[in-house]
Amino acid sequence: MTWPSPPGTALSEGQLSAELATAVQDLAVAAARADGVAPLSEDVLLQLRHGSAAQARDLVLTSADGTLTGYAHLDAPDKEAQDGDASGELVVHPAWRRRGLGTALVSALLARASGHGIRLWAHGELPGAVALAETAGFSRFRALLRLRTPLAAIPAGDQPAPAGVSIRTFRPGADEEAWLAVNRRAFAHHPEQGSWTMADLQLRESESWFDPGGFFLAERDGKLVGFHWTKVHPDGGDGAPIGEVYVVGVDPGQQGGGLGRALTLTGLTHLRRLGLADVMLYVDESNTAAVRMYTALGFTLWSTDAMYRHP
């Protein structure tokens, strides 16, 4: 399917070939180098590498000579969410900006999501993305803070667990079901993390960065009660690798006893032992308890990802 597009470009929708998916990833790399922040989320990048979800939509903008100039992705409306919004992301090649390409992509996404609200991420909340969202009638309603700290600031040595709790590493092929159950409960009100399925987990287990030695599980009386999954990025934006507090979760009812802090420190200690200089994480701006804990550990604001919604 084709859509109206700026002069000298063509906007089309359809399944991406392997070659085109690679070109989109290259476009995202070019944008990240120009902007200092990745334009697409991990979920969209996974779909680019492994194939988009059945009801997802991929839109591409190309120039007259076939050069890829812009890309947008739209996931199907979330049937489990009360508002049933669709979620989208887009990126325009740095050399093709200020020519109406972003507006064309947003217009196509809005048309494709007719009958549903739509949410768009503005990674890094860059001025151009904010202006585009506001001009198109979107309103800011959620923010993810990206925090960072030197690992040298983290206490060295093993971190003690709360009384009655033991911490071990993840066992692929054995711990998936138990982890998914705790993850669903811990993030019951989280629009992305809490909806993970076995396929979502196994997809990440197949990624080159996955390391069960950096995936920590806390147990009490033989029952999983919390976890800290760490990640290492080969390039943190300055050419050096950086660690990530990928996700920390505590089963409701087990909170308030220091388990979340103990798990966080266990993962940070692991990343420090790998010889990494820095570590980063994402946390919802509205999660004030988590923000306080990370701030107390020495984390400071690096950048902000904002989500904008069109009703």
Tens of pLDDT, residues 75-116: 988 655 556 789 999 999 999 999 999 999 999 999 988 778
In angstroms, the first-to-last Cα distance of the chain is 24
Parallel, antiparallel or unpaired: strands 139-150 and 278-284:
antiparallel
The model carries a pTM of: 0.88
DSSP class of residue 235? -
Strands 223-233 and 215-220: antiparallel
Query: Does the pLDDT value for residue 147 go beyond 90?
Result: yes
Q: Are strands 57-63 and 139-150 parallel, antiparallel or unpaired?
A: unpaired
Per-residue pLDDT, averaged over 158-183, amounts to: 94
**Residue closest to 70 by CA, chosen among 123, 6, 118:** 6
Domain with CATH 3.40.630.30 in the chain: 2-137, 147-302
pLDDT, mean of residues 151-180: 91
**pLDDT at res. 192:** 79
225 within 8 A of 215, measured Cβ to Cβ = no
- The C-alpha atoms of residue 229 and residue 245 are separated, in whole angstroms, by 7
Q: Does the structure show a pLDDT above 60 at 1?
A: no
Sign of CA dihedral 9, 15, 20, 22: positive
DSSP helix/strand/coil, 151: helix
Structural contact between residues 143 and 137, judged by C-beta atoms closer than 8 angstroms: no
**Three-state DSSP state, 259:** helix
Nearest 10 degrees: Cα torsion 72, 75, 81, 85: 40
> Measuring CA to CA, how many Å separate 309 from each of 2, 120, 271, 288?
25, 6, 36, 22
Q: Looking at the domain 2-137, which fold is it?
A: Aminopeptidase (3.40.630)
Q: What is the structure's pLDDT at 3?
A: 55
- The tokens for 6 are 């700026």
DSSP 124: G
pLDDT tens string 25-39 = 999 999 999 999 999
- Distance between CA atoms of residues 267 and 47, nearest Å: 27
pLDDT at residue 174 is higher than 60: yes
Query: Smallest Cα–Cα separation from 177: which of 160, 196, 151?
Result: 196
Does residue 8 have a pLDDT over 90? no
CATH architecture of the domain with residue range 147-302: 3-Layer(aba) Sandwich (3.40)
